[in-house]
Structure 1
Amino acid sequence: MPRLLLSFLLGMLGLAPPAWAQQQARILLKVAPDSQHFWCRYTVWLPAGSARSPRFLNLDRRFTVIRVRSPRLSGLSIQPYLYAPFQDTVQRIALAHPGLKQRRKRVTITYEGTLSDRYATDQVMEFSRSTLWLPFVPYQEDAPLAYSLDVQVPASYTVVSTRPSRKARAGHFRFRGRTSAIEPTALVGRNFHQLTAAPPKPAVTVIKANPLLRADTLLLAEATRICSYYNQTIGRRDSIARFTVLLPGTNRNAFALLDNAVDITYSDFDVRKREDRLILAHEISHKWWAYGSISTYEEWLNEGFATYSGLLYLRAAGDTAGFRTELDKRLASAAGAPPILGFDRSKYDYPTIRRVVYAKGTAVLHALHTRVGDDVFLRLLAATAARKTATTEGFLTLVGQEAGPDTQRWLREQLAR
């Protein structure tokens, strides 16, 4: 089958994002740690699309736009508006280009801002997904992005990211990677401490802004075990050789990064606690569960799958009591929640959204697991992960292939009730 036709069919089934839709970006970040101030020049090549001009980019309202440039730009407006997925006001940058042909567009936005104490401490400045420091196309914040990131800092500072720098000299660091649109990451500080797992296990690295503790050594060992388990199960067809755990110490939350990394900001994170071990397993699994739209009910393909994957790890690690206890919590939360299929997030509060996307997603997967058994279920998860499944219909197609049409019909009924 011709490659273009195959890509089209996979995209229609929701099994993989179209390769030609991937954005490319070149980012120059200049940081003044003493004042927590930064300046950024962000150049993105937007792929051709079917929509006519204008095109839009969102930027956090805390930052000041200095300049916007794009070849043949005929109109520009920057206005605040309420962006529903974030339930917050952002800046909308509207770009008009002459003509009706939709061609690949280069857009350069220069802006500056100051990080709040939420993202900066005396030890580190955190530029990450949670910081929302990069522009993005509305409703495409998790769209695939190939990027280069150059960071300039005072000579006494250093910069780390989700992978080693491609080029580093005093005050200048360069990173390259592929991740989602808002996830290129840079931690800026005077000193970072690092632990790395010994081969032949997955090359897991822990990078911390504060001095290392015994809990960090335990975290490294646990993260290595989790990666090994997932490589043998959900990731058996798309395994990982390296993984990075970032510990900025900004004490806020934990979240996954598509570029084989997780950012855990909690200053007291300790995998000897079941809750923290489950958080780590959940976030690492997002290496495979990150392709459903976070603006629709398809997000259950991310959060429901990551939640259940974390529970499966607990069970595999021997904590069967913890598996049952944590599963029962989610089953109780899912009871009476609206159906997953067709769930309109805009009509509900955030607690209800979490009940549907996290808890009910977990309940449905557990019911499917119970129905088909371990072998078929893990084979199905591995196929779903390998194909970067982005829609419920795509997942249902795989269920039909791996477990048969009767189970496919049954699962559709579960998702609709």
Structure 2
Amino acid sequence: MPLPLRPSILALACFSALSVHAAPTDLNTRIDTLVKQDEGQMIELFKQLHRNPELAFQEKETAALVAKALQAQGFEVKTAIGTTGVVGILRNGPGPVVMYRADMDALPIKEATGLPYQSSKVTPWLGNPSQAVMHACGHDAHTTWLIEVAKVMSQLKDQWSGTLVLVAQPAEEILEGATAMVNNGLYDFAPKPDVLLAAHVSPVYPADSVGLREGPRLAGTDQIDVELPGIGGHGSTPHVTKDPVVMGAMAVMGYQTIISRMVDQSKPAVLTVGAFQAGVNNNIIPVSATLKLNLRWYDAQVRERMIEGIKSVTRGVLVMNDMPADYQAKYTMKGYATPVFNGKAQTELAQAALVQQLGADKVLPGMPPLMGSEDFHMLASPYPDTKVLFLEVGSGKPDVYKNLVEKKQLPAAMNHTPGFVVELPAITTGARAVTATLSAFFNKPL
């Protein structure tokens, strides 16, 4: 279903640049002024994006909107990188190359927030012709930030020198978009980045704050499909079949021992079976079953042990069920990303810039290392010396952080749930935080 962008909304998306002639001399004041004067337009754009989410590699209308907005601000723009990715380059004299990525894709979830701008969109997805779609991870906010950052940084060209590269990335939710862009010619167009920044909404911080922490931030991840073979037949005669549903159930339970019995307990690891797909009818034993697995890890040896364990358990299940030797499981490796680490130098530089922009009380200590994952840093996979920074922008209500610290209580609706909400103050907070951080990377190169 195409995203119905009305001309008035497109105008808002492009934020027809209105220069501020009475520019304050203080950079932080200028950033604050420029972003806040666009607050109404930004919120309208955010709501429009929220009402019209697009799934991984389907973000055609969102990408078109971003491309138009970047072109309006004088960026060199290339589209369709990695299917639907967009890259904009603003060259502003000598200096570092700083890349900022925002992800665009939504999730196959039916929204239940009750918001007046709630998504009611459905689209074909994995065999379902009417899959409900929702921005349940804040990528609508991220895309809004990208468009505002393009405008503000173009208006602040007298305050920085270097090359700004903005990336609107597809398919983060399936952890394939960044690698797809690299493999599809990102660096035929864009220069090598010295610094790569991404910002993500976080419901555990109030929407007027950010969280930042040095060191390990997000786990590495793999998405693996395991297809188990079977020999189908009638439900009344299971003894003449080899039931892949039963084998799949055995495998799911066997996989649980990988973490508890095969992985070093001092090292964090998660193995989740997110989907079990088999059969179509009550009385037909199917010929195969597919298990969709998700792995999380920080240590590459732990990753290898989990993958070995999955194959070992699967082989054992087939042997236990007396499957013929020529019936073998099939493994499909899909989305992959390494862990995310915030280096000391870039974290300290960003910390100082954020304190100046938002205030010391609005820059909160980041959570301990999380088992969530990201793939933005895979944009820099060809260049291991690129500095990487992951910033968490609060999207929750005012009391969420206090409740977490004092009561160990998480918000009721976290990311990837039908009730997930980005509180609206996060829209300006994120734009201010990203712009201030980018400016710092230009003005004090690492």
TM over 0.5: no
Normalising to structure 1: TM-score of the pair? 0.24
Larger Rg: 2
Structure ranking higher on relative contact order (CA contacts 8 Å, 6+ apart): 2
